[in-house]
A and B are shown apart, each in its own frame.
Chain A
């Protein structure tokens, strides 16, 4: 539940905080702690994600009241309204995760005014709920360094006033490639991990595919989004065949279809077909010809630029 819903809950809380990351993250962490405590005693509620979001939202409302951060009348009115709703109503309200909140979040995380490394780290941290240590491992940097990078990026979002929104149509085509690039980097890091003992980091591959799915749900008419998901699913279908029983990389010549994760392939074909049906890829609309997704693009491009540890067996 945690991984799957974390990004959606956080995205809506950030919107509730007027685009501020830190208070939303603190409220979510608090709510999660309350949940662990309460659920172990009382059992799981009917809608755990909505429960957590409702508790986090209440924390935010209480915090705003105490500190009186927003002192003007408009905000007071908003707090009155939010505070006046009863428990069930809050849960009901929280239950509706507006899809575009996650989209707002990923476009904000991948804003061009942020450093590329920070874009990837922020996306993994906020949308995928990966902890600082996990991201630091993927980047081959110390946890403190990564933590500092995240703090700086969040500070820049706040102080330079990077808007928490999906870019307007005139900016969308310009900004989408950065988002797709970040998702693909996350996938590649999982596909040929630069850190850790495993060649394939299933968690990162799955996160990237999950983000890809979210993007296709949210931007159904955008061919590049479907193309990226198809590409990731196709490669992921070969995931188990890439390593032998001992977890070492296996040579393509000796591979058989036997270990292929076949269940993802039909979905990949659907995505690929959907992409073909869409008008023209966003990234290439201004160019004369669209660039197909060829296996060449899969050459491991790593987060750190470090050599991937592909050791082909003879």
Chain B
């Protein structure tokens, strides 16, 4: 079963970290990613640029509109993801708990919609 682990965290958090703390966080992410790869569960992972670089597109009444910034003002923003393949939700939760950002942000676990899943 494939799951997307969406990493939500307050972007403002990173501004409060000094170089050492940032290095420590990146090191923790490196270790986590390595563990995930070794287990064979990792399909892909990416870190995203902050929402200040985001562009939001909507099409209304046939007219496309591209605007600056994220969709809504929220405290936490999606900062990256891991796409994993594990046996069940319990295993996905176990990996999500180990993501370093889970200690100051949150991890949303979403099952991937497989082609044979019912619509609706």
- Residue total for A at the interface (Cβ-Cβ under 8 A): 9
User: B89 contacts the other chain (Cβ, under 8 Å)?
Assistant: yes
16 A-B contact pairs sorted by A residue (CB < 8 Å): A111-B89, A113-B89, A159-B111, A159-B117, A160-B109, A160-B111, A161-B87, A161-B88, A161-B89, A161-B111, A162-B89, A163-B87, A163-B89, A163-B90, A167-B90, A171-B90
Q: Closest B-chain residue to A155, C-beta based?
A: B118
- For the complex with contacts A159-B111, A160-B89, A161-B111, 8 further pairs of A-B residues with Cβ separation under 8 Å are A113-B89, A159-B117, A160-B109, A160-B111, A161-B89, A162-B89, A162-B90, A163-B88
User: B1 contacts the other chain (Cβ, under 8 Å)?
Assistant: yes
Q: Closest A-chain residue to B94, C-beta based?
A: A171
Chain B interface SS verdict (over half): mixed
Residues of A within 8 A of B (CB): 111, 113, 159-163, 167, 171
Residues of B within 8 A of A (CB): 1, 87-90, 93, 109, 111, 117
A60 to B93, alpha carbons, bound, how many Å? 32
**Shortest Cβ gap from A19 to chain B (Å):** 9
Say yes or no: A162 contacts B88, CB within 8 Å.
Answer: yes
**Shortest Cβ gap from B47 to chain A (Å):** 25
**Shortest Cβ gap from B52 to chain A (Å):** 33
**Shortest Cβ gap from B76 to chain A (Å):** 19
Question: Lowest 3 A-B CB distances belong to which pairs?
Answer: A163-B88, A161-B1, A161-B88
A111 to B88, alpha carbons, bound, how many Å? 13
Quick one: given A159-B111, A159-B117, A160-B111, are A113 and B88 in contact (CB under 8 Å)? no
**Shortest Cβ gap from A123 to chain B (Å):** 18
Give the chain B neighbours of A113 by CB distance below 8 A.
Answer: 89, 93
**Shortest Cβ gap from B108 to chain A (Å):** 12
**Shortest Cβ gap from A87 to chain B (Å):** 34
Give the chain A neighbours of B111 by CB distance below 8 A.
Answer: 159-161
Most buried by A among B1, B89, B93, B109: B89
